[in-house]
Amino acid sequence: MLACPINGGVALDLRGSTRGGGLDAWSVFRPEGMGTCVRMYLASPQPACSNYGSQVRNNYCPSPRRQAVVLSCGTHAYGATNSGADIAMTAPRLPQVEALVERLAGEVAEPTRTNTAWLIEGVATAGKSTALRMLADGLRERGQVAVVAAPPAHALDAGPMALAELAGGLKDAGCVNGQTDVLRDGTMPLAEKIKHVREWIVNANDDVVLLLDEPSSWPDRFEQTQHFADHARLVVQELVRDIPCPRVLTGEAPEGMSFHARESVGAASEPQAFLTDSDVWGELTQAAGELQEGAADQLRDLSPLQLRLLVALTYVTSVDEVRNVLASGTRTRRALSRRLLDALKDNGGYKDLLRAWRRLAHIRRPFAEDLIGGAITGKLSKRSRALLQNCLLYEVDGRYLLHETLREDAHAIGPQSEREDYGQFAQLSRYYGGLRDDAEKQGGGEALPTALDSFYYAARAGDPGLLDREPYFVDQLDILGKTLSYELHRYEQAAEVFDRAVRMDDSDDYAYHYLAYNLDRLGREPERVELNYRGAIELNRTHPWWRARLVLSGIDHSTSWALVCGPTMSLFTKPSMAGWPTRRCVAGSFRLQILC
């Protein structure tokens, strides 16, 4: 018997498989007439995800080292030790989110809602992503197959990652099995892979619901990476906007998409019980209590992230300092993050925490606890670890993630050496490669997303030797080539990678263009340079950079530059003036003429 802090005494109904000699999932049900039901999850001592069935959230598994039970009283999150004697909240209650999830779970599960979309809007950190995860639980309790896609915002491989997460979720739900191998075929165009995933979703059954976190933020935002953004947009178009199945989205509405209902959530929470629970805060208990006592009337409209940052600021400085911050009106998540960074730097005793913050900013999806205090973060003091786990990171189904705001702010900590950055990317590639291998042995759907993570970090490390598998998507070679060329200036290796990409997918205009570009930087094979520049233009006539660089390449071996820029530029066709630095200068001065 466990006492739920909300509903009073409830009885445990233990269910689930006995994989590994212990229960993977426990369910707790209310007696008739007693408020909200309670559910418990027991982390299994396994190294990677396996298919725990519809009760376990897809995409992520509980941390194998946590060995804790997580109870959900309706939408109140609690954590407990395996004995069940110690129950503690891991986040403040979000009443508006709770009410929305309860209502939406009923609406979405209605049989008539087979081709309907809902949108959850709200300010950053208001709880939109939390609502989506809680909604997944509510739908699964009603027998629905809830599949979540939450690729990293603005990632170069966001499109392929969304495909991998959707396919992995369908596999864990038993909707597909060996069919997902087509996503591992790097020679298959992205559009064909999207078609396969779309068919799996449509043909699965009427119980599939797609839960899509911030799809409008999947495409990258910069002009030079529009090739990757176009791929993410194609995924959004085919698997978010136009697919005929129930969908719930968060964030901004994708262009051209209509909704059955648009729901809005705010940041208001109920912080008192959260801040006064010593089982939550441990080392930070006194600071959390001081914050509640000293500023209670100013906390109710703050998000969980803002509350955590204020606890950290109270611990590092004082509650008086925090009261001054709140009184000054600088309470946005970004202002609080920057204020905390300044306080940590001024203190001088938190270099280990600043180092960990910066390094964890490289990690884009929820990670297991074993990364904290290890080779990635470096050794942490007791107080730094407490600040990191309780205030900077938040839990996603038993794993951890640095909020995107804090990831973006990490650059303010100060630069690492390039060698250290690329070394961490290499470590992460090997780490996720191990997770991929473990997931594959157990047949889990998480094998696909973790494989993409391993590829991504190998590409960011600029090390082709880390690619221990053939790429699943040509985008992975394009990202590696971009790192080698743009960041590391290793043009010969970059040209080799882009040549491999062209051979893998002869419709990849990005690879054609940058094969030509890197050969051009090397001053080699001018005919091949021109051929590949023209190949990129033939495949994509709308990209302004493709034609501009063809014109630039003409300085060395044709009169095209003079034709475009006029007789006054004939000077730059002279051999002594035809080097790459000169062309860069000319390109900057005459960009408008080139693009015309």
- CATH at 219: 3.40.50.300
- The pLDDT value given to residue 596: 33
Q: What is the pLDDT along the chain (596 residues), one digit of tens a residue?
A: 333 333 333 333 333 333 233 333 333 333 333 333 333 333 333 333 333 333 333 333 333 333 333 333 333 332 333 333 333 446 777 888 899 999 999 999 887 777 899 999 988 878 899 899 999 999 999 999 999 999 999 999 999 999 999 999 999 999 998 899 999 999 999 999 999 999 999 998 778 999 999 999 999 988 788 999 999 999 999 999 999 999 999 999 999 999 999 999 887 777 888 899 888 899 999 999 999 999 888 888 888 899 999 999 999 999 999 999 998 887 888 899 999 999 999 998 999 999 999 999 999 999 999 899 888 888 999 999 999 999 999 888 788 999 888 998 988 887 666 678 899 999 999 999 999 999 999 999 999 999 999 999 999 999 999 998 999 999 999 999 999 999 999 999 999 999 999 999 999 999 999 999 999 999 989 999 999 999 999 999 988 888 888 887 764 444 344 434 444 344 444 444 444 544 444 444 444 343 33
Is residue 147, in this structure, part of any structural domain at all? yes
Q: Is 427 within a domain?
A: no
Q: How many residues does the chain have?
A: 596
* Whole-number Å distance between alpha carbons of 458 and 469: 11
Same domain (yes/no): 139, 75: no
Q: Are residues 360 and 493 in the same domain?
A: no
Asked if the structure places residue 447 within a domain, the reply is no
Q: Do 124 and 195 belong together in one domain? A: yes
Of 395, 415, 435, the domain-final residue: 415
Same domain, 18 and 123: no
Q: Do 132 and 232 fall into the same domain?
A: yes
- One domain for residues 214 and 118: yes
Within-domain flag for 254: yes
- At which of 28, 56, 90 does a domain end? 90
In this structure, which amino acid lies at residue 356? A
Count of CB atoms situated within 10 Å of the CB of 222: 9
DSSP string, 238-302: IIIIS-SS-EEEESSPPTT---SEEEEE----BHHHHHT-HHHHGGGHHHHHHHHHHHGGGTTT-
Q: Are residues 124 and 40 in the same domain?
A: no
Spatial distance between the Cα atoms of 467 and 450, rounded to a whole number of angstroms: 13
- Report the pLDDT value the prediction gives residue 144, as an integer from 0 to 100: 92
> Domain of 542: which CATH number?
1.25.40
What is the span of the domain harbouring residue 25?
Answer: 1-90
3-state helix, strand, coil in the chain (%, to 5): 55, 10, 35
- Kindly report the pTM of this predicted structure: 0.79
- Return the pLDDT at 404: 86
| Tally of domains in the chain | 4
Specify the pLDDT at position 554.
66
Whether 351 maps to a domain, the answer reads yes
Distance CA 422, CA 461 (A): 5
**In a shared domain, residues 106 and 246:** yes
Q: In what order do the strands lie in the sheet with 117-122?
A: 145-149, 208-212, 247-250, 117-122, 261-265
Q: Residue 93: which residues within 8 A CB-CB, separation 6 or more?
A: 75, 76, 269, 270, 273, 274
Q: Is residue 445 part of a domain?
A: no
Residues 275 and 407 in one domain: yes
Judge if 78 and 105 occupy the same domain.
Answer: no
Domain co-membership, 209 together with 301:
no
pLDDT value at residue 416: 65
Whether 319 maps to a domain, the answer reads: yes
Phi, psi for 70 (deg, rounded to 5): -115, 120
Q: Is residue 451 part of a domain?
A: no
Domain match, 367 and 497 both? no
pLDDT for 265? 87
Q: How far apart are the first and last CA of the chain?
A: 76
User: Looking at 90, 124, 140, which one is the last position of a domain?
Assistant: 90
Contact 211, 148 (CB under 8 A): yes
